Amino acid sequence: MDDYRSTVPRFAEQAIEANEKLVALLGELAAEKGVTSAQIALAWLLAQKPWIVPIPGTTKMHRLEENLGAADIILSQDDSLQITQALETIKIVGERYSPEHQARVGR
């Protein structure tokens, strides 16, 4: 990885390996529905509360179109519960920001 993510602890090799359980679950649900893991993640966020609005970033038009497609995905209660339970049991490894960036959050 030769971009911003190389500075983010959550994208360190050990963190990626540890967080693979959640990625695998999203991938399984995505394969069942014929969509992408990113779309499943966004659809789950959209289903949480009406005031939650995901703001995914992209530099590619096809990714923007993919992200917008998440609004058309209807997750069953079982799908949503499966993701929610996984998030409660899977420990996400790695901080969201590097210490340098964390120091700037909220300033």
Per-residue pLDDT of 55-82, as tens digits, reads 998 999 999 999 999 999 999 999 999 9
DSSP 98: -
Q: So where are the chain's domains?
A: 20-91
Give the percent of the chain with pLDDT over 90. Answer: 59
Q: Tens of pLDDT along 19-30? A: 898 899 999 999
Q: Is the pLDDT score of 3 beyond 80?
A: no
Global pTM reads: 0.82
Contacts of 81 (CB under 8 A, 6+ apart): none
Other Cβ atoms closer than 10 A to 71? 12
Confidence class for position 18, pLDDT limits 50, 70, 90? confident
Q: Looking at residue 7, what is its pLDDT?
A: 83
Distance CA 62, CA 83 (A): 26
- By CB neighbour count within 10 A (0-12 exposed, 13-18 middle, 19+ buried), where does 77 fall? exposed
pLDDT score of 1? 60
Average pLDDT score over the chain: 91
Closest CA to 81 of 48, 49, 58, 57: 48
